[in-house]
A = this chain, B = another copy of it.
Amino acid sequence: MAKRKVVERQTGVALWRQIADRIRLAISNGDYDAAGMVPPETVLAGEFGVNRHTVRSALAALAEEGLVRAVQGRGTMIERKERVSYPISRRTRFSQGLGRQVKEIGTRLLGHAELRAFGDIASALGIAPGEPVIELRTVSSGDGRPLSVSASYYPAARFPRMAEEFEELHSVTKAFAAHGLDDYVRVSTEIVARHADGDELSMLKLSAGAIVLEAQSVNADLDGRPVEYSRSCFAADRMKLRIET
């Protein structure tokens, strides 16, 4: 393993943060599974070509995230390594897909509003600009860790009670059913990756420089009429997306 791992200087990203990101990745790749612990600080410092204190800053950040735990005299143990896999298919349903990967799933409604659709929202839902839509803002978590924040939009003409039904039923699928829509399918998904903004950092409990996977998706009824447009931001270091075709 004596291979020299590259970190770059004077790029606006502190060395300790670059190293923390690399170690986090190595953990989730299973590179350290044999021992169940991270290599000693002096070894890591040698591999990355930095001072031991710099490695310590990186490990302190990972300990803060709850990913590792350092024990004096023994070493730094890995506490948690998995990424939750989120499936995307024609029949994507949030809670079903996570299934056995997390014991307890929570979706919390942050707020809702009725507003007029323009731009992206109107064109994705196939309605005229200015038509009313219902907006739901939610945050979802698995076993207590926040996984995603979403903003979803529904044509108000067809689903007038979306916010109230969701608040009561805690499920988009059931809220649709309450409006007489029994089935729907996903017609498109666009995925980008970017740095999290301030709101996302705090809602997903991320540290600055963290990455989100943003999925913009459209669901439609079986006649092809769009019923939902949503933008979901997943904490990239906790999730992967699985495309099923």
Count of identical protomers in the assembly: 2
Q: Looking at the complex, which one of B8, B20, B83, B187 makes contact with A245 (CB distance below 8 Å)?
A: B187
1/0 per position for A1-37, CB-CB distance to B under 8 A?
0000111100111101110111001000000000000
State the main secondary structure of chain A at its contact with B. mixed
A-B contact pairs, 8 of them (CB 8 A): A5-B198, A12-B209, A13-B208, A83-B192, A189-B245, A190-B240, A193-B193, A209-B209
State which residues 39-92 of A face B: CB under 8 Å: 57, 61, 83, 85, 88-90
Interface set of A (CB-CB < 8 Å, partner B): 5-8, 11-14, 16-18, 20-22, 25, 57, 61, 83, 85, 88-90, 185-195, 197-199, 201, 207-209, 211-213, 236-237, 239-245
A242 cross-chain contacts in B, Cβ below 8 A: 188-191
A13 cross-chain contacts in B, Cβ below 8 A: 12-14, 17, 208-209
A207 cross-chain contacts in B, Cβ below 8 A: 11-12
